Chain A
């Protein structure tokens, strides 16, 4: 408490000079000194500074959104004001209001104001997590399965917003997944399906180096095809696999059903030219993701570039095409070669 008073007097002194007394307010550190501590405020009111401090909202200050806070907080028991998203995100608000979905969910249903992230620093799984609160996955697999083959696979590999909004700049994001650890032995459990690897797991595996060093071995902040291949071929990494998702870099809030997503060619039939931009996204301690660019075209590599990512019609490998062509050509040797001789010797068989 002593520290708190100290901060308060400092803050007050500053505000005396700048503004009328009534708007003088606690600074973020004071708020967090109580609100980081579940024992003091209760689980429901905890703000984790580790995760909050790196969000775009942290720079605004708690009070910008909780204006009504006074020095009597929390003793006065008064509920605090909460700024509406409309105050600062008018464009998005209006865009969203026009979508049919606005009647079903508010900004707050999909965003925790203390954990906001941009689309390039969040994982595709996180984008879907909020949708899943209201849209039950098994029901979606059933409804989408009526027109979409392998619906469960699609729903796992795509953020819903890649189909249900006009979001743009769709790129391939690769995430590290791993076998969950067995509760008893602590070793990777072979039978269990791969799941998204968290920061702590990967920190252990990278032996206290930067997590990205697991793949970016030369540490230049760029992942070459050679680095990707050697990561995928390394036996030590057999419990780690890269999973690819098609995530948008620019998000729009016109949620709804888009006619052109019925059309499989939106993703599948673009040919190898369209699907070359990819990133590996590594988890950071604050729950966000850091993207490292991957060499162009790495997803088209024959086998070891991205062994678990393949979109039919879009990420085929040219090498494989040539081998296939050679096989087909071999099949023509008999008809063409023999056929020619047969034609030339046709008189012998009269």
Chain B
């Protein structure tokens, strides 16, 4: 498909895109309603307190389900989880450094990115590491702590095992802050393409546009991978 004359790569399959935007909407909703739940005397975005809680609970369940769906899509159906999201040893040895040097140095000098996305290798090593932290650490922990918070009485023994309700809420709150901290970084990294919107387009319509000579290297590495 990459031989298509318009020099475009089909980077994001439809289910992934639907998932991504639903998830994004869900997480933003969770963050905003969570903020109202914690700071009700300052923040009132959803009418009543009860509405915020009901919205947060509903969105929480949906996002937790969607996360599970994502996990199974990649491990069972696409079978690309490790390849896509776990940095390879080469990534760790050279890629991370190379990509960091690019972002923090060469980028400012106007050099091209050392990473070329393909369907099988769509994230650069920096993105991979960040995604790894988010999708394998933050997301599951926020969801699990949230599900416990939603069922305090029935799951009391687990709450006690964690050390009590306060610790559980603390974990949930701080992890959700971490999630938003990531979101800022994530969104910003996504504006570092050729044009600020270049990385958003593939997530929207699935296609990434790349230069002629770049697409050749991409094709090659695509064949090998």
Contact = CB atoms under 8 A, between A and B. Distances in A.
Interface of A: 149-150, 152-153, 156, 193, 241, 263-265, 268-271, 302-303, 305-310, 312-313, 316-317, 320, 323-325, 327-328, 330-332, 334-335, 338-339, 341-342, 345, 348-350
Q: Chain B interface secondary structure, helix, strand, loop or mixed?
A: helix
Given A302-B170, A323-B174, A334-B184, A271 B156 contact: no
Given A264-B50, A335-B185, A345-B108, A307 B167 contact: yes
A335 B103 CA distance: 12
A308 B108 CA distance: 51
A313 B110 contact: no
A270 B42 CA distance: 10
A263 B47 CA distance: 12
B32 to A, nearest CB: 14
Given A308-B165, A312-B38, 16 more contacts: A149-B57, A152-B154, A153-B152, A268-B40, A269-B41, A303-B163, A303-B170, A305-B166, A306-B166, A307-B165, A310-B166, A312-B37, A331-B181, A334-B184, A334-B188, A348-B108
B67 interface: no
Interface size class, chain B: 35 or more
Given A268-B40, A269-B49, A303 B174 contact: no
Contacts of A150: 150-153
In order of increasing CB-CB distance, the 6 nearest A-B pairs are A331-B181, A307-B164, A269-B40, A348-B110, A335-B188, A345-B108
A348 B49 contact: no
Contacts of A350: 110
Given A307-B166, A334-B185, A324 B177 contact: yes
A8 B27 CA distance: 80
A193 B166 contact: no
17 contacts: A150-B150, A150-B152, A150-B153, A263-B49, A264-B48, A269-B41, A310-B165, A312-B37, A312-B53, A327-B178, A331-B182, A331-B184, A332-B184, A334-B188, A338-B104, A341-B108, A342-B107
